[in-house]
Amino acid sequence: MLKFFARYKTFAIVMFILSVIIIYTIYNLYKPEERLPIYQPDMVNAELVDSTVQNVRKYHRIADFKLINQNGDTITQDFYKNKIYVADFFFTTCVTICPIMTDHMVKIQEKIKDDPEVLLLSHSVFPVADSVPALKKYAEEKGVIDEKWNLVTGDKKQIYELARKSYLATKTTGDGGKYDMIHTENFVLVDKERRIRGFYDGTDPKAIEQLMHDIGVLEKEYK
């Protein structure tokens, strides 16, 4: 009996390896391809969505915009044409969640700096204070790469409408002004069709890991 097993030992090992390869191949063939959801306003917490779009169930896109970045350049949706990007809302003098969010954006920038398909976009929710010089100083302190990441300021009404009607990422409770809001920690993943594909807690390292994974999933959709 021992001689029998010794004689067929090599054959058994080869068959075992082949079996593993075949099972793995079959599993991958039938495994559903991972795809990210396409978020519509009616899928998002109503607290973060303007009442005029809360019931929208399809065709939601990020609206056209025209803002000014840290270098004084006009930034429109054309800068992000055919690009995947991560957007958030912040202000330079924030001392609560913003520093953590910005540090995480810096880490994302490091990971995507050689990837021409992915960009970053941070909107100031305090544009009256976040002038171009203020944004430039902040960008230099944080190591922002201009070609990858725009810190933008501009018309407060436009920024707030983008936050509430397009990115679905901010609350309205504040000092009661018509265009007053409290920004959240949300990072928003936007695809090349200007559709929202994910929301992530910008203060949570695990959420940032998930965001990086999802960027890879999204890039595969375009290959």
Biggest alpha carbon–alpha carbon distance for the chain:
88
Instruction: Give the torsion sign (CA, 172, 175, 177, 180).
Output: negative
Classify burial at 24, counting beta carbons within 10 Å of its beta carbon; exposed 0-12, middle 13-18, buried 19 or more. exposed
Is there a binding annotation on residue 183?
Answer: yes
As a whole number of angstroms, the distance between CA 193 and CA 184 comes to 24
- Token pair 């990422």 in the structure block, residue: 169
Query: To the nearest 10°, the Cα dihedral for 28, 29, 33, 34?
Result: -10
Is there a binding annotation on residue 104?
Answer: no
Pairing of strands 118-124, 149-152: parallel
**Binding-site sequence positions:** 94, 98, 183
Binding residue ranges for Cu cation: 94, 98, 183
